[in-house]
Amino acid sequence: MKIVLDTCVLVAAMRSRQGASQQLLRRLPSPQFTPALSVALYMEWQAVLTRPEHLPAGMDIERMLGFLRYLASIAYLQDVHYLWRPFLRDPDDDMVLECAVASGSRYIVTHNLKDFRRIDQFGITAITPADFLQLPEISS
């Protein structure tokens, strides 16, 4: 199954080694799910995760970029040809939704559920990392 990882999940994974976001990333690559990624979303990942306040202690920008390249290498790379803007309140969230729709993803994994109201119209569910990891098809 394809999923889209919102940038906030990656930020949370960098901040805590104990949380569900980190557990989710440690499961990659996974036979149960594959992250879908568009160029626009990858660029946001880079812009946000290379900020000094988001770099974990002891990690420099080059190591972070290497980590992001690894994630891109195991992701399903999706071209987005149709924009659904404006659909959500935040254009950056529209970009996440567009990747999910174009890739046929079932879930957007995010900590910001309220930002993705109404996406069920597209057959997509916004879900937290903890709840995603508890899904029967993932936890088995």
Q: Which carries the bigger pLDDT value, residue 108 or residue 89? A: 108
Per-residue model confidence (pLDDT) at position 1: 97
Model confidence, pTM: 0.95
Is the separation of the CB atoms in 106 and 1 below 8 Å?
Answer: yes
Question: In this model, does residue 136 exceed pLDDT 80?
Answer: yes
Q: How far apart are CA 104 and CA 36, in angstroms?
A: 9
pLDDT tens for each residue of 46-78: 999 999 999 998 899 999 999 999 999 999 999
Please say whether the dihedral angle defined by the alpha carbons of residues 126, 132, 134 and 138, taken in this order, is positive or negative.
Answer: positive
Beta strands in the chain (DSSP E): 2-5, 34-37, 76-77, 107-109, 125-127
Domain limits of the chain?
2-139
Q: How far apart are CA 11 and CA 25, in angstroms?
A: 11
pLDDT tens for each residue of 28-49: 999 999 999 999 999 999 999 9
User: Which class would CATH give 2-139?
Assistant: alpha beta
Per-residue model confidence (pLDDT) at position 139: 84
Mean pLDDT of the 132-138 span: 96
Per-residue model confidence (pLDDT) at position 110: 98
Residue where the block lists tokens 């979303």 = 41
